[in-house]
Amino acid sequence: MVAQATTNNLTLVLGGAASGKSLFAEKLVVQTGRDRVYLATSQAFDDEMRAKIARHIAQRGPDWTTIEQPIDVAAALACVTDTQAVLLDCATLWLTNVMLAEMDIEVETRKLLSAVADCRFPVVIVSNEIGLGLVPDNALSRQFREAQGRLNQRIAEIATTVVFVAAGLPMVLKGQL
């Protein structure tokens, strides 16, 4: 793989489930002082997920514009202006959506990375670090774990700042806050 140049406006926030990564990422976007855009990749397929999404929207408050886009992040980012900052939450659900749609992961990843690299506004991407646990017991789960690890590595490669959050505590892996 050829090393890519870093994208000065990109921060990657990694962590496990319920680690505090999304809340930390929200704070980073607020600290920019710009208008806030929440780019949601989740899809509400059941009542539990609908309730979770509603809770998160209420917690963020009215100062956020929410764009729901499960796959075409490039199209969503094209709607953002230079006066805004974006929180993309999350790359893990984006990858899930790409895989479930049986799209080419490599092609879609290149589109995602290119779209982020073209942004002239701050972008914070949240992603799950799922490779710290047990080896999954089935082929699809192992394929997903490997694809997620590769995606995180590629985003981290172009990010200026990479932060790992555990128990709500940020640990800078690359760059500085």
Whether residue 67 contacts residue 78, with contact meaning beta carbons closer than 8 Å, is answered with no
What kind and span of H or E run contains 36? Answer: strand 35-40
At 94, list the tokens.
């984006």
Classified as helix, coil or strand, 153 is helix
Q: Catalytic pick from 34, 56, 145, 154?
A: 56
Confirm whether 56 is a catalytic residue.
yes
Angle at 53 between CA 49 and CA 57, to 5 degrees: 170
d(CA 56, CA 118): 28
Rounded to whole angstroms, what are the CA distances from 26 to 31, 87, 136, 138, 159? 9, 7, 31, 34, 17
> CA dihedral defined by 60, 64, 66, 67, rounded to 10 degrees?
-140
Cα separation of 177 and 166, whole Å?
16
Going by the DSSP 8-state scheme, the letter that residue 3 receives in this structure is P
Q: Which residues are catalytic?
A: 56
